[in-house]
Chains A and B, each alone.
Chain A
Amino acid sequence: MQKRAVVTVVGKDQIGIIAKVTNVLADNRMNILDISQTILQDFFTMMMLVDMANISDLDHLLQDFKKVEQELGLTINIQREDVFQAMHRV
């Protein structure tokens, strides 16, 4: 069964953001289902839909994200997809 989550990445554009973030996802056995990315006034914003059905340790993933956040000065969020469905769809 799929358990989908939305990963959002926001920060100043620089080399290697997608590489580092997707590496973390691969290391934590998370499959990427959809990616969209854009640059808004120098700001890199990326949104990914991922399948977290195989994830064994959410804390580990969050720690990995934290490292990337600090290294590249980004803000990374991950939230289960249904929360957006619940809040923004009747």
Chain B
Amino acid sequence: MSIAFTEIQETIRMVQMESLDIRTVTLGINLHDCADSDFKKVKEKVYNKITSYAAKLKPVAEQVEKEYGIPIINKRIAITPIAEILGSATREQAVDLARTLDQAAKALEVDFIGGYSALVHKGISKGDQTLLDALPEALSVTERVCASVSIGTTRTGINMDAVGQLGKILKQTAEFTKEDNSIGCAKFVAFCNPVEDNPFMAGAFHGAGEGEAVLSVGVSGPGVVLNALKRYPNVDLGEVSDIIKKTAFKITRAGELLGREVAKRLDVPFGIMDLSLAPTNAMNDSVAEILEEIGLERVGTHGTIAALALMNDAVKKGGAMASSYVGGLSGAFIPVSEDNGMIKGIEDNALSLDKLEAMTCVCSVGLDMIAVTGDVTPETLAAMIADEAAIGMINKKTTAVRVIPVIGKSEGDTVEFGGLLGRAPVMGVNPYSSAKMIQRGGRIPAPLQALIN
């Protein structure tokens, strides 16, 4: 036997003690052929297509996880941005379609279906506007539908009219779901430079360049990286990078193997492997704790961005060699509510909103799962989105905003979202207004970085 016992033990330890798992297998499904002038037919076609294509997703993934002994935590579906098939549907019909998607997700027992989305980074079409208008209600009457809106790209600039609308949409969604800590906003993300094959929620959708159906995989594994680093407490940063690289390689290889097996059994092509370290609230499964292990007393202090840049880069280097098709967002996620270390950083006043914003310059994806005070104005929310979008636009990277203005809560409170979404300390925002800038509207022109031809 060519595999040593210590190697087998290492794999078992990673799974049982260090929370190694496959975070998600996400089946992307093209819905363009579901468009129809009769809206009843659209609903029917959408429901039938999703439930037939993904019928075996959950049982197959569960079988594979048993055979390989590595858990696949989430089985999810990404669909064509819904705005593209809305046509001349009304707002009410668009909300109705969200309900249909929710029913399909429940029937298939998948936890999220992503793609209630619109791409409006340059302009807003009729279908896009219908979707934007429907968003607050759609997010409040459904449980498993995730929505995203692209409001900027490096090649087009930032559509500030859309950004302005999103501020209002977020606030309204928060009001509609205020009984549940404004959880509707946790299922919505605003993107700059979105990717078409992202398997992670809430921002997954099946892009226009994708095929009929495709399976993409997102791995997890901050716990494994953290434990690997703990075994070498005194090595220099070059070696730290090397340890992360090697660990990321192993995690990615396991993910790719399982992903390919699930794809083969579902008879769909394997799409991409997303190399993101995705934290959970499980003990030690935290990106913040990796940064602290590198040598920070608490995440958020000086040096945080350097440590994060080192870690993110090492994960990519290790993962890129391990997988033949790397895609998606592929960078470290820093969701606050899903990462115990981040939560502690905020509670100890080490980590601020400004620092989180700066951190997004060197990692994917953006301000993620951050709870802010309920009395925040729509203009301030819009301006937060604009800031993140500008970081993404200039640096030619994906950035996103998933903030939750929690109605009725103020700075210092803590909110529970439950499940994978975790809990978050409510953060304050800058008290000065950005309203004038948002009211100006228009489009921020594409930057010089776009002129690369």
Contact: B66 with A62, CB < 8 Å?
yes
Task: Known contacts A62-B66, A86-B257; decide if A79 and B11 are in contact (CB<8 Å).
Answer: yes
Contact: A77 with B12, CB < 8 Å?
yes
The minimal Cβ–Cβ distance linking B59 to chain A, given in whole angstroms, is: 12
Contact: B254 with A79, CB < 8 Å?
no
Contact: B3 with A88, CB < 8 Å?
yes
Which of B67-75, B88-96, B333-341, B358-366 has 4 or more CB atoms under 8 Å from chain A? Answer: B67-75
Q: B68's contact among A8, A47, A49, A80, by CB below 8 Å, is which? A: A80
B residues contacting the other copy or chain, number (CB 8 A)? 23
Task: Known contacts A84-B11, A86-B257; decide if A58 and B69 are in contact (CB<8 Å).
Answer: no
Interface of B is mostly: helix
What is the bound-complex CA distance between A36 and B4, given in angstroms?
11
A-B contact pairs, 22 of them (CB 8 A): A8-B8, A8-B9, A36-B1, A36-B5, A45-B5, A49-B1, A58-B63, A59-B66, A62-B66, A77-B12, A78-B69, A80-B67, A80-B69, A82-B257, A83-B68, A84-B8, A85-B2, A86-B253, A87-B7, A88-B4, A88-B11, A88-B250
What is the bound-complex CA distance between A1 and B158, given in angstroms?
56
- B contact set with A: CB distance below 8 Å: 1-5, 7-12, 63, 66-70, 250, 253-254, 256-258
Task: Known contacts A87-B253, A87-B254; decide if A79 and B1 are in contact (CB<8 Å).
Answer: no
Task: Known contacts A58-B66, A77-B12, A79-B68; decide if A84 and B5 are in contact (CB<8 Å).
Answer: no
Q: Write the chain B residue with the least CB distance to A55.
A: B67
Contact: B67 with A6, CB < 8 Å?
no
The minimal Cβ–Cβ distance linking B275 to chain A, given in whole angstroms, is: 15
- A contact set with B: CB distance below 8 Å: 5-6, 8, 34, 36, 45, 47, 49, 58-59, 62, 77-89
Instruction: With a 10 A CB-CB cut-off, give which of B3, B10, B250, B256 has the most chain A CB atoms.
Output: B3
Contact: A86 with B69, CB < 8 Å?
no
Contact: B11 with A83, CB < 8 Å?
yes
Contact: A6 with B8, CB < 8 Å?
yes
Contacts of B250 in A (CB 8 A): 87-88
What is the bound-complex CA distance between A39 and B133, given in angstroms?
67
Contacts of B66 in A (CB 8 A): 58-59, 62
What is the bound-complex CA distance between A81 and B258, given in angstroms?
12
Add 19 more A-B contacts to A77-B12, A86-B254 (CB < 8 A): A8-B8, A8-B9, A34-B1, A36-B1, A36-B5, A59-B66, A78-B69, A79-B68, A80-B68, A82-B257, A83-B68, A83-B70, A83-B257, A84-B7, A85-B3, A86-B257, A87-B7, A87-B254, A88-B11
